[in-house]
Amino acid sequence: MHIERHRTMHIGWLRAAVLGANDGLISTASLVVGVAAAGAARADLLIAGVAGVVAGAMSMAAGEYVSVSSQADTEGADLAREKHELATDWEHERQELMAIYVNRGLTHELAALVIDQLMAHDALGAHARDELGLSATTSARPIQAALASAVTFAVGAVLPVVVAALAPRAVVSQLVTGSALLLLAVLGALAARVGGAPLGRGALRVMFWGALAMAASAIVGKLFGSTV
């Protein structure tokens, strides 16, 4: 049996994982760079970095869970409505599905044959796919999204904290910025590879926003000059 594996199979966790890793790296590196630019001591840098890792990972998990749960609730409500309409007005639902297939290019006769067989097999599944655009591949999974986002955020956020702990204090900002941009390029290219996009474009777009965020944080640190 020939089994095709499509990249959309990864979409459930890939979006949350990419967002978590990039956010963890960019936000924590920006935090460390901003605090370092304010003249903070190494201990203050580490406190800020570790606090940023913990708070950010929990925030990402909560945010992903709530947002994806809202999507799941919406999908569930639409499916419940379709189920009710199938139970109360089968012929109208049949005509809706018929119109969809005719608009795709089938003749009325062929569409009628297709629709009757699809609805006899799984009427709700047919309407979910063709009328609502829902499938098992792209359905919302709140727990999966929350875990992927939290874990990858923590992984991405570890690098700036480690660099801040080991680098000479005089060059912490430069080393954190350089290492963060390098890892952002790797993450962007990796995400592009998994998603089937050009590697260079994936790397450049995350590097651009990461550099912008760290530059803005450094400016704030210089202007206010306060320590954490």
Same domain, 219 and 120: no
Q: Would 156 be classed as within a structural domain? A: yes
Same domain, 125 and 172: no
Q: Would 139 be classed as within a structural domain? A: no
Angle (CA) 41-47-49 rounded to 5° is: 100
Same domain, 61 and 152: yes
Same domain, 117 and 69: no
Q: What is the mean pLDDT of residues 167-181?
A: 87
pLDDT at 54: 92
Give 227's pLDDT tier (boundaries 50, 70, 90). Answer: very low
Same domain, 124 and 157: no
DSSP states of 53-101: HHHHHHHHHHHHHHHHHHHHHHHHHHHHHHHHHHHH-HHHHHHHHHHHH
Domain extent at residue 86: 81-130
**How far apart, in whole angstroms, are the C-alpha atoms of residue 122 and residue 130?**
12
Domain tally for the chain?
Answer: 2
Note if the pTM is more than 0.95.
Answer: no
Give 220's pLDDT tier (boundaries 50, 70, 90). Answer: confident
Same domain, 172 and 219: yes
Q: Would 71 be classed as within a structural domain? A: yes
Q: Would 137 be classed as within a structural domain? A: no
Last residue of a domain, one of 130, 152, 167: 130
Q: Would 136 be classed as within a structural domain? A: no
87-121 pLDDT, tens digit each: 898 889 888 888 988 988 888 889 889 888 988 88
Looking at the predicted structure, is the pLDDT value of residue 23 above 60?
yes
pLDDT at 74: 86
Last residue of a domain, one of 130, 153, 169: 130
Asked if residue 155 lies in contact with residue 23, where contact means CB atoms within 8 angstroms, the answer is no
Same domain, 20 and 107: no
pLDDT at 2: 43
Please state, rounded to an integer, the average pLDDT across all residues of the chain: 82
Same domain, 125 and 211: no
Q: Would 4 be classed as within a structural domain? A: no
**CA separation (Å) from 30 to 15, 165, 176, 227?**
22, 15, 9, 15
Q: Would 86 be classed as within a structural domain? A: yes
Looking at the predicted structure, is the pLDDT value of residue 139 above 60?
yes
Same domain, 106 and 13: no
Q: What is the mean pLDDT of residues 21-50?
A: 86
Last residue of a domain, one of 130, 164, 197: 130
Same domain, 157 and 175: yes
Asked if residue 42 lies in contact with residue 168, where contact means CB atoms within 8 angstroms, the answer is no
Looking at the predicted structure, is the pLDDT value of residue 9 above 60?
no
**CA separation (Å) from 175 to 23, 78, 188?**
19, 50, 20
Q: Would 182 be classed as within a structural domain? A: yes
Same domain, 101 and 67: no
Q: What is the mean pLDDT of residues 37-48?
A: 86
Same domain, 113 and 211: no
Q: What is the mean pLDDT of residues 64-81?
A: 86
Within 10 A of 20 (CB to CB), how many other CB atoms are there? Answer: 29
Q: What is the mean pLDDT of residues 1-26?
A: 63
- Listed in sequence order, the residues at least 6 apart from 47 whose beta carbon sits closer than 8 Å to its beta carbon are 228
Lowest model confidence (mean pLDDT) among 18-27, 51-60, 149-158:
18-27
**How far apart, in whole angstroms, are the C-alpha atoms of residue 43 and residue 49?**
10
